[in-house]
Each structure stands twice: as C-alpha cells, then as structure tokens.
Amino acid sequence: MRRTLQLGAIGTAAGVFSGLFGVGGGIVMVPLLILWLGYEEREATGTSLAAIVLIATVAVAAQALYGNVRADYGAAIGIPAVGGVLAGTWLQQRIAARWITLGFAALLVGIALQPLL
C-alpha cells in the first residue's frame, strides 16, 4: 500500500509538471523513482516511459481544449523522435548504468542553468 501511494505521489508530481511546463516524465519521475523507491536507472526510465503515454494523452486533450495544440508541429517533432527513442534505447542498453546516471545528472544541471544564463 505504501509503495502504491508513493507511486501515486510521483505520478501526481509528474502530472503537475507536465501540465505546467510540458515536462514530467524524465525530469520528475525518473529521479524520484531512483531516489525515493530505489529503482535502477533502466527500470526507472522504462517505467517513466510507460507512464508518459497516459500523461501525454490526457495533457494533449486538456491543452487542445484551450486551443494550444499544433498537431502538425507535434507530428513534425514526434515522428523523428521515434528514431531517437530507438537509438537512445539501443545505446542505453550498451552503456554502463553509472554513465547513464552521470549523463542524466549533467542534462538536469544544464536544464537548470539554462534559464539563468
């Protein structure tokens, strides 16, 4: 029961960030799954991606109600992203988990610093 509540809290936080900023999966869920629930990096990534399907579907519907969705631009970004996902997943399986963690940490630091620069 406790783990289910923790997963629910992580999902809620990811949903709020997704609705506010268009992010939530990787930036919120992956670190929380690792730090709070002890998931391994690869398991946290896969779990996050599964949740993103649901989050993105609801977020797109809600944003569409406000007229904020450009489906043509979304497809222009999303279709090539499929190739990136396949390449990234292939690469992730071949890199030591430590390097994945360090790379993810560097990405988060870069994202945090970007608005300040």
| 39-56 per-position pLDDT tens digit | 998 999 999 989 888 888
When pLDDT is averaged across residues 33-38 and rounded to a whole number, the result is: 92
Residue-level length of the chain: 117
Alpha carbon distances (Å) from 27 to 16, 19, 108: 12, 13, 7
Per-residue pLDDT, 15: 82
Alpha carbon distances (Å) from 41 to 61, 78, 80, 112: 30, 24, 24, 21
Residue keyed to tokens 């940490």: 105
When pLDDT is averaged across residues 16-36 and rounded to a whole number, the result is: 84
Residue keyed to tokens 């631009």: 73
Residue keyed to tokens 């690869």: 42
Say if residues 29 and 14 touch (Cβ distance below 8 Å): yes
Instruction: Provide the domain count of the chain.
Output: 1
Determine the Cα–Cα distance for residues 91 and 85; give it in Å rounded to an integer: 10
When pLDDT is averaged across residues 8-32 and rounded to a whole number, the result is: 83
User: Per residue in 60-98, pLDDT tens?
Assistant: 999 999 999 999 999 999 999 999 999 999 999 999 989
25/47: higher pLDDT: 47
Per-residue pLDDT, 115: 87
**pTM metric for this prediction:** 0.76
Per-residue pLDDT, 67: 95
> Is pLDDT at 24 greater than 80 in this prediction?
no
**Domain range for 96:** 2-116
